Amino acid sequence: AGREASAGRSEEWCKKTDSRLADLSDQLYALRMEVSARSESEAKARDGIALRMQKAALREELATLGASSDEKLAALREDLTALLHPGPDAQALAPSAHFEGLSAEVKVLRSEQTSMASMTRRLDLGLADVRRMTAEFAAGAARRLDSLEADAASQRCRVPAKLDVTEEPSAEQCVHAAEVRESSERHLQRTLQVEEWLQSLLSRHGDSERRLAALERRLQKELRGVEEPLEETLSQLAIGVVKLAQLVGVAPEDACTTLGWREACADLPRLLDHAWLRSRLPKRASLLRLVRQKADAEQLRELRAQVEAFMAGATAAAGS
């Protein structure tokens, strides 16, 4: 009877030990799942850092583009000022070269303005994505931190109690308990590090948002300050080109009064194509060449009239 009772107790103790080992294995599996979730959160954090670096690179590129556009606009303003207010020693044929150079620079500035607008839109989209990902990551990290703290507290409360209840813990149970304690301590340290990192990330994110907003306001103000004198100069330039087209005879007489400078700029290619077709010149001919051709044709007619008059006088003298 005593042997049967001891055998029953040993069997019951083995069953309890097996159940405790199963519980410990379940807890270890849960801890491993938490560690994998933590690795995913760290990967998302690395993605956020990469996005921040990309945003900084885009900001630097935008700053370089703004500086280059400011320099080119200043050079264009100086050229236009020198063109509209020439000195006493300026040559008569200089405006054509200036016009050709200014047209190329205006095209370059328009393309750069388009690239700056696309860069601003891309920065806005990237900033919206960064804000959304930061909010999602912060919410998910907060939920995971709460669950990790609760699980760690429950593990600290449950594991020592279970180990105390066990009459004769085995070496494997001691190893499992030590692993659980170490993993809970590591989880606590990592949660504290993640909290500190999230706080620093949120503070830096707010600083970057404020800097981007200030940069956008400054760029808009600078663009407004540059566009107004540029539009005024371009209007005068367009009126001058229309007057030159009137001198050549390819523009109507009331073009300066009926057309604004924007409409004149839009209609100038058609007028010049029409002039090229009428003059049968190649596409590389300039407006100055058209003026020269007209002047040469008038001078040739005058010379022919003089030659005919001279020949008529010579014939009359020979007949007499």
- Domain of residue 155 covers 2-241
Could you give the angle at the alpha carbon of 179 between the alpha carbons of 178 and 182, nearest 5°?
Answer: 85
- Whether 296 is covered by a domain: the verdict is no
Could you give the angle at the alpha carbon of 19 between the alpha carbons of 18 and 21, nearest 5°?
Answer: 65
Tens-place pLDDT, residues 108-140: 666 766 776 676 677 667 667 766 776 776 677
- Whether 188 is covered by a domain: the verdict is yes
- Whether 119 is covered by a domain: the verdict is yes
C-alpha to C-alpha distances, 61 to 131, 140, 210, 240, 280, nearest whole angstrom: 21, 33, 18, 37, 47
Tens-place pLDDT, residues 271-296: 777 766 766 666 665 666 666 777 78
Helical segments of the chain, H only: 2-84, 94-165, 171-248, 255-258, 261-279, 287-319
Tens-place pLDDT, residues 146-178: 776 676 666 655 544 444 444 455 666 677 667
- Whether 222 is covered by a domain: the verdict is yes
pTM: 0.26
- Total domain count for the chain? 1
For tokens 């590591």, the residue is: 186
- Whether 151 is covered by a domain: the verdict is yes
- Whether 112 is covered by a domain: the verdict is yes
- Whether 301 is covered by a domain: the verdict is no
Assigned token pair, 266: 């839009």
Per-residue pLDDT of the chain (320 residues; tens, 9 = 90+): 566 666 677 777 777 777 776 777 777 777 777 777 777 777 777 777 777 787 777 777 777 776 776 677 677 667 666 655 555 444 443 444 555 555 666 666 667 667 766 766 776 676 677 667 767 766 776 677 677 667 666 665 554 444 444 445 566 667 766 777 777 777 777 777 777 777 777 777 777 778 888 888 888 777 777 777 778 888 888 888 888 777 767 777 777 777 777 887 887 788 777 766 766 666 665 666 666 777 788 888 888 888 888 888 878 877 76
- Whether 126 is covered by a domain: the verdict is yes
Assigned token pair, 11: 């069997």
